[in-house]
Structure 1
């Protein structure tokens, strides 16, 4: 089975991360609390997909971001999700696709998908390493 490549993004504001409750009509993971993201289109790079998906879903453009990790998510299709952390963006956040978007603590307890929880733990681990290395 070939994995469908996707991007997911963590918009970070202080100690909060933006999450979404997926629309009930979505084919994959309807109604679940997840990190926002979407499929990479044919002949599109990961970064192009990141920029496009942020604009489509939240009406913002990333200014400062970095690649975090890639994880598999078995759903109706096998997905390979490439996670990005977005630290700064332009534009006013507006929800364009999900049933709801909300700022939550970076604790993964409210996240429904295991791959998203692993990515959040990895982001926190990387942040702790950066803090430790600055001393």
Structure 2
């Protein structure tokens, strides 16, 4: 089975996480509340994909990005999500591909997928090492 690699970006601000309300027209996870992200393109590194996807999805550029973990997410395809934590960025957040984005308390974030739930739990577990 082919594995599709993706980057997911966890933007944190004051113990809150930015989540997207995915468009109902999306092929994968339509209408769900999720951590934003996107697929790596052919020949692209995770870091290159992270920069491109942040610009395409939210119109921001990270000042820092720390790798958190990688988790499989079975949807209509098998995805390997590489999660990055971002606590500083440049630009104003604008949802360019999602229906909307909102800030949620990280401990009560209503993410729909198990992979996103595990990633947020991992932040709580190792947070002292992720935030400068």
> Runs of 5+ in structure 1 lacking a partner?
none
Counting matched residue pairs gives: 131
Contact 1:108–1:117 under 8 Å retained in 2: no
Q: Once superposed, which parts of structure 1, at least 4 consecutive aligned residues long, lie more than 6 Å away?
A: none
Contact 1:108–1:121 under 8 Å retained in 2: no
Post-superposition CA distance 1:23-82 (Å, at most 9, x none): 011000000000000000000000100000000010000011100000000000000000
Determine the structure 2 residue equivalent to 1:20.
Answer: 20
Partner Cα separation in structure 2 for residue 61 and residue 87 of structure 1:
11
Return closer, same or farther for 1:130/1:69 CA change in 2, 3 Å cut-off. Answer: closer
Q: Could you state the TM-score of these two structures normalised by the residue count of structure 1?
A: 0.93
Secondary structure of the residue aligned to 2:117 is: helix
2:54 pairs with 1:74: no
2:83 pairs with 1:83: yes
Contact 1:59–1:92 under 8 Å retained in 2: yes
> Runs of 5+ in structure 2 lacking a partner?
none
RMSD: 1.4
Counterparts of residues 32-71 of structure 1 (less than 5 Å): 32-71=32-71
Question: How far did 1:128 drift?
Answer: 4.8
Q: Could you state the TM-score of these two structures normalised by the residue count of structure 2?
A: 0.95
Secondary structure of the residue aligned to 2:24 is: coil
Partner Cα separation in structure 2 for residue 52 and residue 109 of structure 1:
25
Contact 2:85–2:130 under 8 Å retained in 1: no
Question: How far did 1:107 drift?
Answer: 2.0
